[in-house]
Amino acid sequence: MKTVADYIRTIPDFPHKGIMFRDVTTLFADPRGFRMAIDQMLHPYAGLRIDKVVGLEARGFIMGGAIAHQLSVGFVPIRKKGKLPGKTLSQDYTLEYGEATMEIHDDAVKAGEKVLVVDDLLATGGTAEAGIKLLERLGAEIISTSFIIDLPALGGRKRLEAMGMDVQVLCEFDGH
């Protein structure tokens, strides 16, 4: 029987030599694989109150939208700087290859709303940490974070857990 990991393609040396890129587009393209991933991402939250699902740019939008639909709740995107049209809050963060800024609309989440944060991949945890900080500034209560893939060697899970976050992942891969 196939697992979620079986639907994920590995592309060596992308975007840089020595990186093993874990490509989830093959998972998304397969109806059984995509359904399996969404169902498994939803499972830990059965019976919990969630007001909004927050997706981190860009692949987090794909799962986040599907999960929000299944839960019949709203979806909120956290995007790279300059992509949202309304008034935003910004949070700088460090990437493996530089720095970036994430933004959220300042009215996207109300204080006290319970949110689930989703993305495809947890590497160093920098993007997720930036998203969490934005949500905390808006007064959201983060129920959990959920990812398809964890790269444990890069320490993202430990970083988020050190912030007090619950972290759920569907599969792990060694290396970068």
Sign of the torsion angle spanned by Cα atoms 89, 162, 62, 151: positive
- The DSSP H or E segment spanning 102 is strand 98-105
Give the per-residue pLDDT at 21: 95
* Catalytic-labelled residue, pool 49, 96, 136, 161: 96
Give the per-residue pLDDT at 138: 98
Tokens representing 43? 């499972």
Asked if residues 111 and 139 have their Cβ atoms less than 8 Å apart, the reply is: yes
Give the per-residue pLDDT at 94: 87
Give the per-residue pLDDT at 95: 77
Tokens representing 102? 């994430």
Helix (H, G, I), strand (E, B) or coil at 98: strand
**Per-residue pLDDT for the chain (176 aa), expressed as one digit of tens each?**
999 999 999 999 998 899 999 999 999 999 999 999 999 999 999 999 999 999 999 999 999 999 999 999 999 999 999 999 999 999 999 876 679 999 999 999 999 999 999 999 999 999 999 999 999 999 999 999 999 999 999 999 999 999 999 999 999 999 77
Give the per-residue pLDDT at 38: 98
103 in active site:
no
Give the per-residue pLDDT at 62: 98
Burial 89-120 (b: 16+ CB within 10 A, else e): bebebeeeeeebebbbbeebbeeebbbbbbbb
Within 10 angstroms of residue 21's Cβ, the number of other Cβ atoms is 14
Residue whose pair of structure tokens reads 């709740």 in the numeric block: 73
What are the E-state strand segments in 5-49?
A: 9-12, 20-23
Domains and CATH numbers, the chain: 48-172 (3.40.50.2020)
96 in active site:
yes
Give the per-residue pLDDT at 154: 94
The whole-model pTM stands at: 0.96
